[in-house]
Amino acid sequence: MAKHTIALLPGDGIGPEITAPTVALLHQMGDFAFEEHPFGGVSIDAHGAALTPAVEAACRRADAVLLAAVGGPKWDTTDPSRPRPEQGLLELRKALGLYANLRPVRPLRALYDASPLKREIIDGTDLLVVRELTGGLYFGKRGRDGDTAYDTMVYSVPEIERIVRTAFRAAKSRVTSVDKANVLESSRLWREVVVRVHREEFPHIELEHVLVDNAAMQLVSNPRHFEVIVTENMFGDILSDEAAMLTGSIGLLPSASMGGDGPGLFEPVHGSAPDIAGQGIANPLAMFLSAALLLRHGLAMETEAAAVESAVDRALADGLRTGDLGGSATTDEATRAVLNNL
């Protein structure tokens, strides 16, 4: 069997600290070749751009891309002419055609007490947020005209069709389409396309439409109601981070960005946490679970993916708690706890 090549983008802040143990974990799962590249703020410092053409080409050649985190106060700016680390992520998603972001949310029983919500509210929650990733406000025409700034939300029928199909294929019984069709014209088109794709291709799946503000409320009042949520880019960005807190820590949530025939991009939901960088206390579990999604969705290695997820579950059930989970385990201690359960 050919060796799989994984492009590693450790990025900024705690990124390198959670990348190294994830490489160690993956070495136990199979025979991989790892190619590490600068990305985000460190790339801006070295090359003046968050994503260079050479790194983009390397990612295209890889079988999968594993990203840790980007950003930090050092690169924060409101000057539109200066590069930001997050621009590299948007550019890479666009370059690889990654139009679907998958964020599974499943609170673990061992961590129910870490959630800000009551145990009886989150018990049994198992949902997937499917976020459109390459359209909407983040990619529309933008600019400034005197003392006015503008951002444009644009969606085409084909863009909506492909993300909606991704959601229906992932669902067993119900898809919740989230929009703002009572106000936005782009949302009215979104709803029209969702209705047609459902009627013509997936009539066996239940479909419901929920306005984004109502969806935000239901996520914290009745999260068990949701199975698959599909929505546009900005709404998905906000709702998926809200849903992440059902688990008690954003440090536990992985994500997968998928698209066409090229490699997928796998990354934890959390940021670069510059306030704890270099202290050896970063929680590596979301990065481990992102590696599990890489194995499952990127390389079709389901058994290995399930083994990683099981090892994380067992380590937490045995009492592993990093600082964000109310404990004191270091990154090294969390890594050993998971590896011991593989």
| Domains and their CATH numbers in the chain | 1-109+252-342 (3.40.718.10), 116-247 (3.40.718.10)
* The pLDDT of residue 113: 81
**Per-residue buried b or exposed e for 283-310, using 16+ beta carbons within 10 Å of the residue's own CB:** bbbbbbbbbbbbbbbbbebeebbebbbe
- 147 is an active site residue: no
**pLDDT tens digits, one per residue of 90-145:** 899 889 999 999 999 988 888 888 788 899 999 999 999 999 998 999 889 999 99
CB burial class (10 A; 0-12, 13-18, 19+) of residue 256?
A: buried
* The pLDDT of residue 80: 76
On whether the CB atoms of residues 98 and 263 are closer than 8 A, the answer is no
Q: Exactly one of 63, 180, 313, 324 is catalytic; which is it?
A: 180
* The pLDDT of residue 108: 84
Residue 339 has pLDDT above 80, yes or no: yes
- 172 is an active site residue: no
- 138 is an active site residue: yes
Residue 2 has pLDDT above 80, yes or no: no
**pLDDT tens digits, one per residue of 3-45:** 899 999 999 999 999 999 999 999 999 999 999 999 999 999 9
Q: Exactly one of 138, 155, 179, 313 is catalytic; which is it?
A: 138
**pLDDT tens digits, one per residue of 137-182:** 988 999 999 999 999 999 999 999 999 999 999 999 999 999 999 9
Q: Exactly one of 74, 94, 123, 237 is catalytic; which is it?
A: 237
**pLDDT tens digits, one per residue of 261-295:** 789 999 998 889 999 999 999 999 999 999 999 99
Q: Can you name the residues that pair with 6 across neighbouring β-strands?
A: 34, 64
- Model confidence band, residue 81 (pLDDT cutoffs 50, 70, 90): confident
Residue 1 has pLDDT above 60, yes or no: no
* The pLDDT of residue 250: 74
Q: Exactly one of 31, 76, 213, 275 is catalytic; which is it?
A: 213
On whether the CB atoms of residues 270 and 279 are closer than 8 A, the answer is no
- 74 is an active site residue: no
Q: Exactly one of 74, 112, 123, 241 is catalytic; which is it?
A: 241
- 261 is an active site residue: no
> What mean pLDDT, rounded, does the chain reach?
94
Provide, rounded to the nearest whole percent, the portion of the chain with pLDDT above 90: 82
Q: Can you name the residues that pair with 33 across neighbouring β-strands?
A: 5
